Structure 1
């Protein structure tokens, strides 16, 4: 039993354990609240539990706390980038971003990534392993403790492909949404995917109220295949069919992420082609001026190209915004700070 992660347990699972321990069932709720609502750092801080129960928990369960390895705070906008060390000494990263509507935490779902996208630093060293639900929750909890600020929105857009770790993602959403925990509403959670079509259908069947963000980044398969290896398995047409199904099942608007890369996917003709594909769909396009990656020759689009692209999409009746660039002075883009840290090591 020692290998079980206490942070990843549901209340009903804790109740079963209390029964095994010959303890009252209400102790399960107390333990859950200590972990997920009060965010204690160790079992001995659960002061309303009998000492012998605390000892049983310590003997039988892992307490996988993340260690803050490094932190960088932007002088421009106070965006904060965190590097956390896991129990096995792997490194993950998270970001705290400040908006007028509340604080947003961007968390990782895997150590590394196997998707191989050309514009992303997270994937350069491949996938090492999936994160548990507890390790994803702990990113939120540690950020709140360090910043002394409440996180009200979560984007699962850090290192990793979330749908490549779907079971743990679903458990994470269930636990972070729980009224006896952080109680962060599903509509305040965004999950990003590069387009794992089979998993998109599986996610749609759950009928969650989260926002699905699809990393499209190209108007056609020819361009997409040059940037994203997953495009060789799933065509844009197949991805859009899965998106239509997701909308039908959840009545939730899809967000399309589109990183604008100079002279690759940012021309007016690309915007028109994308507009033709998406017009009439319940969707929103989030244009992202690409963060340069040292190991890549790709360059970010000019501000005039970004504006022309946005105007063209909007002429098709598609709601389009340009993502505000945050933390540019601290390697805040996905995978960058972790990459620099590992290089120094």
Structure 2
């Protein structure tokens, strides 16, 4: 298997497409004040708009009752262009899991998922349309990269999920509540869209009126191991949780399963993860999709535990993810006995390890399944 996938290029540039229109959510506090002033409005209106968007979760100025009726249309056109439309929604798990296919103004499609648990409500959001990391067992990676999402397109997923939960929802999500957790585990490699993801992170964790006020400890950023970007994110000191998608403890296998390993080897990825843990004081999640007869051998469990114990010690927690195979895939989940043995061996090396609850299998909303065939939006969903 090693060497079957060529090394990635030095720059992860998506194809050139028209940029989404500027939106209020793209702007920081200073830029919001400047934009409002350009419209001939007093600067304090910027704070009003921010309170409406981040606090009340309203994205249509026509519904902002504290804004003079005479300027609502002007503000709408200048600062709140329509960015996303829900093209299709599908639910499972007795309505507790719902996947949304979003269509942007340029026709680009991407997906997000809302998951309700007894103790939390989680939104799994996308940072890119598609993904350029080319992991062969991941449906999103095999579809390729269309483009980066704008900061506002990322934040609109959060706002929409928050608004749905707060209102009690319709259909799939039928009980009220508050969005408590965000995971950047949807489509795309977040650290390959670094600047926009960073701006979105800042506004997710900032309290209203500058953000949604979600605790940084409840926000997880997943990466396949872009080591320099991991270190850079650590230096931002936002203290979000880092999830490193490792999937193999040895370079020979990981070069094929996670092609970015051709640039940053396992040791470099783990060194960067240790740096992140040291700077932030946060434990790092190690994501490991368990694949039958590929990466589930007992000796690999031993090696994983040994390497993590040496690199991160108590600052690592392994999330073993039963593989969610996509239609026509040659990959399959490991048998339960092999899964149990794998977890035991990792724990025996002194590393915390659990099996992740896999939500959304029936609707291709589980890990690695986003953008599976039949729900890409390439066809007319109607």
User: Same fold by TM-score, threshold 0.5 exceeded?
Assistant: yes
Partner deviation per Cα, 1:174-227 (whole Å, 9 max, x = no partner): 112221142101111000000011111111111111000000000100111121
Q: Judge which range, 207-216 or 175-184, deviates more.
A: 175-184
In 2, Cα distance between equivalents of 1:271 and 1:254 = 18
Equivalent residue number for residue 265 of structure 2 = 235
In 2, Cα distance between equivalents of 1:98 and 1:46 = 29
Equivalent residue number for residue 114 of structure 1 = 132
Match of 2:373 among 332, 339, 343: 339
SS of residue in 2 equivalent to 1:341: coil
Equivalent residue number for residue 308 of structure 2 = 278
SS of residue in 1 equivalent to 2:57: coil
Runs of at least 4 residues of structure 1 off by over 6 A? none
SS of residue in 1 equivalent to 2:362: coil
SS of residue in 2 equivalent to 1:230: helix
Partner deviation per Cα, 1:286-317 (whole Å, 9 max, x = no partner): 00000002242011101111111111111111
Partner deviation per Cα, 1:125-184 (whole Å, 9 max, x = no partner): 211111111111111222233442421100000000000011111111111222114210
Answer yes or no: is the 8 Å Cα contact 1:93–1:335 preserved in 2: no
Q: Aligned-pair RMSD on alpha carbons?
A: 1.8
In 1, Cα distance between equivalents of 2:221 and 2:250 = 23
Equivalent residue number for residue 199 of structure 2 = 171
Equivalent residue number for residue 214 of structure 1 = 244
Question: Offset at 1:75?
Answer: 4.0
Aligned runs of 1:25-44 on 2, under 5 Å?
A: 25-44=43-62
Match of 1:61 among 79, 98, 119: 79
Equivalent residue number for residue 143 of structure 1 = 161
Structure 2 unmatched runs, 5+: 1-19, 169-176
Partner deviation per Cα, 1:18-63 (whole Å, 9 max, x = no partner): 3334432221110011112212241211221123432432343352
Question: Offset at 1:7?
Answer: 2.0
In 2, Cα distance between equivalents of 1:258 and 1:174 = 28
In 1, Cα distance between equivalents of 2:95 and 2:301 = 30
SS of residue in 2 equivalent to 1:226: helix
Structure 1 unmatched runs, 5+: none
Equivalent residue number for residue 263 of structure 1 = 293
In 2, Cα distance between equivalents of 1:76 and 1:42 = 31
Aligned residues: 344
Answer yes or no: is the 8 Å Cα contact 1:92–1:338 preserved in 2: no
Match of 2:108 among 90, 98, 120: 90
Answer yes or no: is the 8 Å Cα contact 2:60–2:76 preserved in 1: no
Q: TM-score, normalised by structure 2?
A: 0.85
Q: TM-score, normalised by structure 1?
A: 0.94
